Amino acid sequence: MFRRFRGYFPHYFSKHPTHELKELYWSVGIMDFATSAVALFEPIYLWTLGFGLEKILLFYAAVYLLYTILVPLGGRVAARFGFEHTILYSQFAFIAYYMCLFGISSWPGLVYVAPVIFAIQKSLYWPAYHADFTLFSGRDQRGREISGVLTVSSIATILGPIFGGLVLNFFGFHALFTVVAMLFLASTRPLLKLKEIHDLAPFSYKKYWEILLTPRHRQSAIAYLGYAEELIALVMWPVFLFVAIPHYDQLGLLVGLSTFITVVLVLLIGKKTDQTAKKPVLTLGSLLLSGSWLFRAFLNFLAWQLVVLDAFGRVAKSMVSIPTMAITYEHGIREDPLAIAVFFEQALAIGKFLMAILMIVLMQFVSPWLAFFVVSALASLLYARLKDSKNQGLVK
């Protein structure tokens, strides 16, 4: 698959990706197809069960508070048992999470269990994934390799919401959760072909917190807090779309169409990131992403507006994500992949937790959608605070 893509776009994909990176691409593609088939509809599912916006935000506030606490343990598990096996364990947690979600309609008490399991899944998956990518990607073409995995993810995301919407329309949430669970397990198969990595010594739980809280790391932590806007993008924006278009198949098609528009542009961004300084791309992306959130405050619920702004937001987010992750991975390769991954994920989780709490407070005084979009616009500006990795030193 990747050889064919490189034939058509020889300058936009990495020239000689490692075997390990190719397998990681396959794993991400399968997992993102499964995730995108259900993730768009996950907050909508809670909405249809009678959860209001405030309760949905409380649900995810619990997830990210627990994630902040547990992710250093995920780093220790990855160092002890290896990255690929830790990712495999995370998929069983993902299946358990969706089983809990599926069961909430019959056993409401599972709403207290689901955030714990979701936080465990994230704690196992993300440090191991980021450490894998740090070690498997190449320095001179890291931007293109990140855009490559984002392109694979985008292609999967084009098809996933359409597939998920059709399954929901004809068979319901039960069938969708079952199919997604099987795909989660299938996504680990490419990684299990790789030689397991065991040679990274784990930091103590306390050390991970010291890395996060040390004053010299403050500017990077503040930049990663910008991912607070992602909470609105992944949780509140789907509910907003569902209010505007209350049909699963049409909603899946809309998101698939907006994602399709972004695919080629993501490749261009990756190439540009390798050719120029990363900070200007990151700064421009931060400004455009902020603008995309402000524009959403003036929507009239017309389908073409939703497609255009969703696509614009995705492109702007790619302009942020590609240089951000390139800088983060470059730092990880010089210091310690797991330490940097845990630092990144902890700061990100704190940002999302604070966003959820702030939104709950603001909803008591102003229109919730106006609050969501305006605060997301402000949070997006934080990305531009990230320093070039050459000026950082997280691990001493």
User: Which residues lie below 8 Å from residue 230, measured CB to CB, with a gap of 6+?
Assistant: 348, 352
Taking the mean position of all CA atoms in its chain, how far away is CA 285?
17
Summarize pLDDT for 243-286 with one digit per residue, the tens: 777 766 666 666 666 666 666 666 666 555 555 667 888 999 99
pLDDT, position 343? 95
Provide Rg for the chain, Cα atoms. Answer: 20
Which CATH number do you get for residue 82? 1.20.1250.20
Measured CA to CA, the distance from residue 180 to residue 99 in angstroms comes to 11
For the whole model, what pTM was predicted? 0.84
Summarize pLDDT for 86-97 with one digit per residue, the tens: 888 898 898 899
Q: What is the 3-state secondary structure (H, E, C) of the chain?
A: CHHHHHHHCCCCCCCCCCHHHHHHHHHHHHHHHHHHHHHCCHHHHHHHCCCCHHHHHHHHHHHHHHHHHHHHHHHHHHHHHCHHHHHHHHHHHHHHHHHHHHHCCCCHHHHCCHHHHHHHHHHHHHHHHHHHHHHHCCHHHHHHHHHHHHHHHHHHHHHHHHHHHHHHHHCCHHHHHHHHHHHHHHCCHHHHCCCCCCCCCCCCHHHHHHHHHCHHHHHHHHHHHHHHHHHHHHHHHHHHHHHHCCCHHHHHHHHHHHHHHHHHHHHHHHHHHHHCCHHHHHHHHHHHHHHHHHHHCCCCCCHHHHHHHHHHHHHHHHHHHHHHHHHHHHHHHHCCHHHHHHHHHHHHHHHHHHHHHHHHHHCCCCCHHHHHHHHHHHHHHHHHHCCCHHHCCCCC
pLDDT, position 80? 87
Of 24-33, 59-68, 136-145, 371-380, give the lowest mean pLDDT range.
Answer: 136-145
| Burial per residue of 348-376, b for 16 or more beta-carbon CB atoms within 10 angstroms, e otherwise | bbbbbbbbbebbbebbeeeebbebbbbbb
Report residue 12: phi and psi, to 5°: -105, -15
Q: Give the model's confidence band at 40: pLDDT under 50 very low, under 70 low, under 90 confident, else very high.
A: low
Measured CA to CA, the distance from residue 321 to residue 177 in angstroms comes to 29
Number of domains in the chain: 1
> Could you tell me if residue 121 is inside a domain?
yes
> Could you tell me if residue 156 is inside a domain?
yes
Summarize pLDDT for 163-174 with one digit per residue, the tens: 877 887 788 777
> Could you tell me if residue 86 is inside a domain?
yes
The range of the structural domain enclosing residue 90 comes to: 2-198+205-391
Pair of tokens at residue 316: 């702007």
Of 16-30, 142-156, 261-275, 377-391, give the lowest mean pLDDT range.
Answer: 261-275
> Could you tell me if residue 396 is inside a domain?
no
Average pLDDT, the chain: 80
